[in-house]
Amino acid sequence: MNLLLLGPQGSGKGTQATRIAADYGIPHISTGDMFRAAITAGGELGRRVEPILAVGELVPDELTVELIRERLGRPDARRGFVLDGFPRNLAQAQALDRMLGEIGRDLDAVLYFDLPDAVAIERLLGRARAEGRTDDTPDVIRRRLAIYHEQTEPLAEYYRARDRLVPVHAAGTVDEVYAELQVALEQVEGRAA
């Protein structure tokens, strides 16, 4: 099953992607985690993305597309994947469509995590305190949410027009959201069968 998770920062995409990946035996592919790992590793990619992420900007499309293409080519992604953090704009969505077409795949569903900004900000500030994340300051959070609304949120219509969008109420507890996701995924599996 090839899934894409779409929604604002703090909507629980990463948490839910981890659960979906475990239940379906497919990898959770998070560009954010991949970029943070690259920074920690200290290589060329890390040096390129660290200053971009530090101010809350998006990593350039060509760099992100290169990273995702490589990751989807690994053996563990053959049976499917849960993509989290990409695409973040229309150009990336179109690049993803082209890339999937080139490898003979399509998205089975785009799970759209709907969450009010106030809840997202509260969650992100809590995560920053709990995890000591320096990239989740109030100013950076507001900047990232503004970018999300401007560039990423319009992708909901892009995927709705392709009959791939599955809305999810993301303000509930982790278990409530996952229960809604399970129902949605059963419907997606039935549609694909």
**What is the model's pTM?**
0.86
85-116 as b/e: b if 16+ CB within 10 A: bbbbbeebbebbeeeeeeeeeebbbbbbbebe
- Residues labelled as active-site residues: 13, 88, 127, 133, 144
Q: Output the tens digit of pLDDT for each of the chain's 193 residues.
A: 999 999 999 999 999 999 999 999 999 999 888 888 888 888 888 888 889 888 878 788 888 877 888 888 889 999 999 999 899 899 999 999 998 998 889 999 999 999 999 999 999 999 889 988 777 788 999 998 999 999 999 999 999 999 999 999 999 999 999 999 999 999 998 876 6
Cα–Cα distance measured from residue 139 to residue 142, given in angstroms and rounded to the nearest whole number: 5
